[in-house]
Amino acid sequence: MVLTHEQLIPLFKGALRVEMSTTGYTAPRRFTEKGQEYYNTLGDFGKKARATSCVRLEMITDSDLFSYEYTLESASGRKFAYFDLVVDGTVLRHDGYEGISSMSGNITATLPAGTHHVALYFPNLFKGNIRNVTLSDGATFAPVEKSCRIYAVGDSITQGYDAKFSCGSYSNLLADMLNAEVVNHGIGGDVFHPDMIDADMPYTPDIITVAYGTNDWSGRVKEHTVEAANEYYRRLAAAFPKAKIFAITPIWRADEFRHTQVGAFADIIQIVTDAATAAGAVVIDGERMIPHSPAVCSDAYLHPNDLGFQYYAHNLYLAMKPHLEG
């Protein structure tokens, strides 16, 4: 039984729009057209915005077959991409490649007998499209209901650099811990951009996590950073007045001992803290998210690896939990 494009649309999580390509592929997109157009004006950011970070196809189904065709196209400088198939919270298989910039193919998986929660996690750093999603003849399928909605904004670390497997980014792991849908607007290299806030976005979050600052510290001047951070949080709080906003200060990086045009690393932490606090956000100490060790970073200094993201998601969940209870 092949699912139609129309049948697939309500099964997606983390996609603000789902389009049909000229070659018949279903193409989930995490940004609205307006959001994509904004990042298209910022050079390479437009390419990164096309990545399918935190996009999933989720269903409750009694099928014992799950098959699909896919295309992959690089949307970052990384050369690895995986589709992760997860059944009832346990990874069934990772299907992907390393050393690629594009790829197409077909995946067929056998699902365990009975009715299960099946989730296909799309690549975080590539653009993924699918078609001919096939279940067993006569199988039933239904969308998955979530407890809440997360809106994750930030830089490369929020986008998922450098989790090898798609389900291993901190945003995906946190969403799983909270049984939440997550729309991920993380962009590698991004900084505080007040103009990217879209109050008309067709998604009403209950929780917003904001994780900017490390690129501001390394590439901006102090006055611009202070102004941009304050304006960003002011607009964000005004655009989503019912959401609980969590501001994550920059996480540990191996070169945080140096000084930049913003100042010491402690200065960017204070800038973020002050701006977030003024807007009523809950401030999370990013320095407590991962161990201060190159061993938990793919590049030994900044981007968490799979182990680093496990620490990040766990510690972030613990820091957020008291503010979500009751």
87's CB contacts (< 8 A; 6+ apart) are: 111, 112, 116, 117, 118, 119
- Summarised one tens digit per residue, pLDDT across range 236-294 is 999 999 999 999 999 999 999 999 999 999 999 999 999 999 999 999 999 999 999 99
Domain-by-domain residue ranges, the chain? 5-142, 148-324
**C-alpha closest to that of 261 among 295, 306, 215:** 215
326 pLDDT exceeds 70?
A: no
Averaged confidence pLDDT in the chain: 97
Predicted confidence band at 217 (pLDDT cuts at 50, 70, 90)? very high
C-alpha dist (Å) from residue 206 to 30, 151, 183 = 17, 8, 11
Q: For domain 148-324, say whether CATH 3.30.565.10 is its number.
A: no
pLDDT, tens digit, 9 for 90 and up, residues 170-202? 999 999 999 999 999 999 999 999 999 999 999
Q: Cβ(180)–Cβ(148) under 8 Å?
A: yes
Looking only at the bridges linking them, the beta strands covering 244-248 and 148-154 are: unpaired
The stretch 73-95 carries a mean pLDDT of 96
Are 174 and 157 contacting, i.e. CB atoms less than 8 angstroms apart?
A: no
Q: What is the mean pLDDT of residues 42-69?
A: 97
The answer to which of 96-100, 310-314, 316-320 has the lowest mean pLDDT is 96-100
Which CATH class name applies to 5-142?
mainly beta
What pLDDT digit, counting tens, does each position of 243-254 carry?
A: 999 999 999 999
Q: How far is CA 296 from CA 125, 168, 254, 305, in A?
A: 19, 13, 11, 6
